[in-house]
Amino acid sequence: MDFEQTRANQRHKRILDAALKVFSRKGYRDTAVDDIAEESDTSKGGVYFHFPGKQAIFLALMDRAALMLLKRIEEAIARETEPLAKAEAALHVVLRTFGGHRALARLFLVEALGAGREFHARLMEIHEMFIDVMKLHLDDAVAAGAIEPIDSELAGRAWFGAVTEVITHWLLSERPVPLEDTYGALRPMIFRSVGAKEPGR
């Protein structure tokens, strides 16, 4: 990769990093490209060179965050052998990641919903990716005899919904406890919902 390409990639990343901060602080609707340019120490023209507008920046942020989270989930799942332990690992990674990246969580669970209908379809696609991970490992758990046959898609959707509701409450709380601290209580509820014993218990 030549010097110019490297510099362009660095600027692209700097713009996205700055946009995450600005969107989290001001909200999607009140953020202007000028705000992102200032935060990233880039000219407005430089921002437009990489992105056609604010909407494209927001969508790129959503995609980058989703890919990062999926990678972390895959790495955590690879360390487990039991199907339910894999599902648990995926859920735990979501809590741990968002707990350590409050701005990212706010982007996904607050700003994306309020940004407008044009974002909802992409947000639903991202949700479905995570629900599919849950479904896959719940199906494996049924096949292994770890749980009775269930509607794994509905269960995965319920698990994802429970976790995202906990995260949203944490985001909106004025004095939140560490997000990971909630998993101790959430864990048994989640596994009882599919008639399973908790992994490792």
- For 5-26, the pLDDT digits (tens) are 778 788 899 999 999 889 888 8
Domain ranges of the chain: 1-51, 61-192
Task: Name the pLDDT band for 141 (thresholds 50, 70, 90).
Answer: very high
User: Hey, what are 162's tokens?
Assistant: 């429970």
How far apart are the C-alpha atoms of 141 and 74, rounded to whole Å? 17
pTM over cut 0.75: yes
Q: HSE of 9 in the Cβ direction (CA atoms, 13 Å)?
A: 6
Class of domain 1-51: mainly alpha
Over residues 17-38, mean pLDDT: 90
Per-residue HEC secondary structure of the chain comes to CCHHHHHHHHHHHHHHHHHHHHHHHHCCCCCCHHHHHHHCCCCHHHHHHHCCCHHHHHHHHHHHHHHHHHHHHHHHHHCCCCHHHHHHHHHHHHHHHHHHCHHHHHHHHHHHHHCCHHHHHHHHHHHHHHHHHHHHHHHHHHHCCCCCCCCHHHHHHHHHHHHHHHHHHHHHCCCCCCHHHHHHHHHHHHHHCCCCCCCCC
Q: How far is CA 195 from CA 56, 124, 127, 149, 192, in A?
A: 43, 28, 24, 10, 5
Q: Pick the closest to residue 87 from 162, 31, 17 (CA basis).
A: 162
pLDDT tens digits along 99-116: 888 888 888 888 887 777
Topology annotation, domain 61-192: Tetracycline Repressor; domain 2 (1.10.357)
